[in-house]
Amino acid sequence: MRKILVAIDGSEQSFKAARYAIDMIKRIGSDASIILLHVVSIPQFPHHLGSLDEYYMKITREVDDWFNTISSWDESKGINISRKVIHSHTSIVEAIVEYAEEEGVDLIVIGTRGRSRFIRALLGSVAQGVVTYARCPVLVVR
């Protein structure tokens, strides 16, 4: 295993997925790298929040905070962790699966649900979609 992709949305479940991937690398003594991936779905842009540029700046700051939090964990020291944000016109599932294929990812780690009641249902379906369509193994963390 050389590359592990962890899908991040800022939810407790996505942080658990990141921690699990980091712990797994430490336990097996692997030199695998982790890619933290967040997908911004353009069709779901909440227009009441202002301009698309303002929205991207807000999301970028928020995602940077998530990535910095994960990178600051003691367990993450010594692990090669990269960060990627995708602005996608396709579904979140499609963006995750396509990115994993393009990057030659060996494993996708994803949480079971997201941040709010509505998004939990949506991200539950994202986890299910990634499990269904990914060509590499997928680990779903509770």
Q: What is the per-residue pLDDT across 66-88, written as a single tens digit (0 to 9) for each? A: 999 999 999 999 999 999 999 88
Domain locations in the chain?
A: 3-141
Give just the sign of the alpha carbon dihedral 88, 92, 93, 96: positive
Q: Which of 97, 86, 92 has its CA nearest to residue 125?
A: 92
Q: Which amino acid is at 85?
A: V
Please state, rounded to an integer, the average pLDDT across all residues of the chain.
88
| Threshold 0.75, pTM exceeds | yes
31, 78 in Cβ contact below 8 A? no
Superfamily grouping for domain 3-141: HUPs (3.40.50.620)
